[in-house]
Structure 1
Amino acid sequence: MNLHYLTTLVIGLLAITGLKAQKSSNLIKLNLLPLSVGNLAFEYEKTIQEHISLNGTLSLRSKSGLPFRSIWESGVDDTYNILGEAKLAAFSFTPELRFYLRNKEAFKGFYIAPFIKYSNYHLSTILSVDQSDYQKEVPISGSLNALTVGVAIGSQWRLGDAIYLDWRIIGPNYGFNKGTFEGKMQLSAEEQREVRKQLDNFDIDVLDLKKEVSAEGVTITTKGPFAGLRTALSLGYRF
């Protein structure tokens, strides 16, 4: 074989091998659990050392009714169906640093992963004000931002040449939130009393809600501690 062609073939094989090795340090995943409630959660993981990787999760939810509504209603006094009328959209981004403890090879085995999570929730609902001769609807909408830190534990398995299964068993997190929800509408004195009565009977234990009602409408604010719990069952492809 001509030396030139042999050299070219060797260099080409080395280039392909190097490219394959470089590509195999990436893993994309889809979390299967939130699909049932209309959430999409994508993950991207990349090795940075033999047993250490960076993982990022992007979660999106289009505006729709509250997920797990029955659970919300069991923990919240919702006499006036405020949650029943609610629509929720959400976005979150969570970078984490994974340490694989029982394997030198990243992407495989038991791991511990400290993380930071930023979340944005957009919520809208309607207060119905019933008077003797008419009914008035007061639309309320706004957003809540939360920043939390936590540690997740889980395990990841290789199911095939490039297919992986990631089980994030649990990931408690804690931090702070700040949110504002408003409904701008002219309200009479009688309407204000009715709205206050409804809001006084509505509380969410995990949020410190401050409610203001005036002739110009309704303002609800929250600021303080915020907690969450992460879990996932993700199917991934290594490339």
Structure 2
Amino acid sequence: MKKRFALPVLLSLFLIPTLMSAQENTFKINILSPIFKTLNLQYEHKIKENSSVQLGFFYTGYSVGETSFSGFGITPEYRFYLSSTEAPQGVYVAPFLRYQSFNLSEESTDSEATFTTIGGGAIIGKQWIFKEKVVLDLFIGPAYNSGSVDVKSGTDSFDVGTFDGFGLRTGFCLGIAF
């Protein structure tokens, strides 16, 4: 019975200090997202003195014209910090990829479809950490997504322009560092 508990106890002794290291991880929410009826969460982990990886996730229920979107997206990115401070704070550039999956509907034509995209881009931003806990992250950059619509019923008259082609990725995130 003691052997069953030994491994979890040992892992906890090594993992908890690693996870609790000051300013090596951040958890953020993009506060611009609710404008577009979206919840956007991001987790960042420092991997080197001047770099980190971040994984973003969003869920949306958004309408463009007569087309209603509901679905999610996943955005992995690698951040290179250019400033003299250590990651995860300071000025950075970050290439990213993005996968999106949506259900589409148009009430006027009684049409339904699925829409998936894959894309990427690069952002430039600045992240501050105040009082070793509060995170503020501002970023902007070009993005490109390419996708396909799979019509389930009705006509193929969906307006997917907002999520397909060239666009701008922006963010104003608040969070915590731990």
Give the structure-1-normalised TM-score.
0.60
Give the 3-state SS of the residue equivalent to 1:23 in structure 2: coil
Return the alpha-carbon distance in structure 1 between the equivalents of residues 132 and 41 of structure 2.
21
Counting aligned pairs with the same residue, the percent is 28
Shift of 1:143: 1.3
Alignment pair present for 1:238 and 2:177:
yes
- Matched residue, 2:148: 178
- How many residues align structurally? 163
Alignment pair present for 1:112 and 2:111:
no
Return the alpha-carbon distance in structure 2 between the equivalents of residues 109 and 41 of structure 1.
22
String of CA shifts for 1:18-43, please: whole Å, max 9, x gaps. 92775331110011001233210000
- Structure that is richer in helix per residue: 1
Q: Which runs of 5+ in 2 are unaligned?
A: 1-12
- Structure that is richer in strand per residue: 2
- Matched residue, 2:165: 226
Give the 3-state SS of the residue equivalent to 1:234 in structure 2: strand
Contact 2:119 2:143 in 1 (8 A): yes
Return the alpha-carbon distance in structure 1 between the equivalents of residues 18 and 48 of structure 2.
17
Give the structure with higher Rg (CA).
1
Return the alpha-carbon distance in structure 2 between the equivalents of residues 110 and 180 of structure 1.
40
Q: Cα RMSD between the aligned structures?
A: 2.8
- Matched residue, 1:52: 51
Corresponding letter in the other structure for 2:144: Y
Corresponding letter in the other structure for 1:61: T
- Matched residue, 2:81: 100
Contact 1:94 1:118 in 2 (8 A): yes
Corresponding letter in the other structure for 1:165: L
- Matched residue, 2:36: 37
Q: Which runs of 5+ in 1 are unaligned?
A: 1-14, 70-82, 128-137, 185-194, 208-224
Give the 3-state SS of the residue equivalent to 1:19 in structure 2: helix
Return the alpha-carbon distance in structure 2 between the equivalents of residues 139 and 203 of structure 1.
11
Shift of 1:177: 1.1
Give the structure-2-normalised TM-score.
0.79
String of CA shifts for 1:70-99, please: whole Å, max 9, x gaps. xxxxxxxxxxxxx33x32212110000001
1:126 paired residue among 102, 107, 113 = 107
Shift of 1:205: 9.0
Shift of 1:164: 1.0
- Matched residue, 2:130: 159
Contact 1:100 1:108 in 2 (8 A): yes
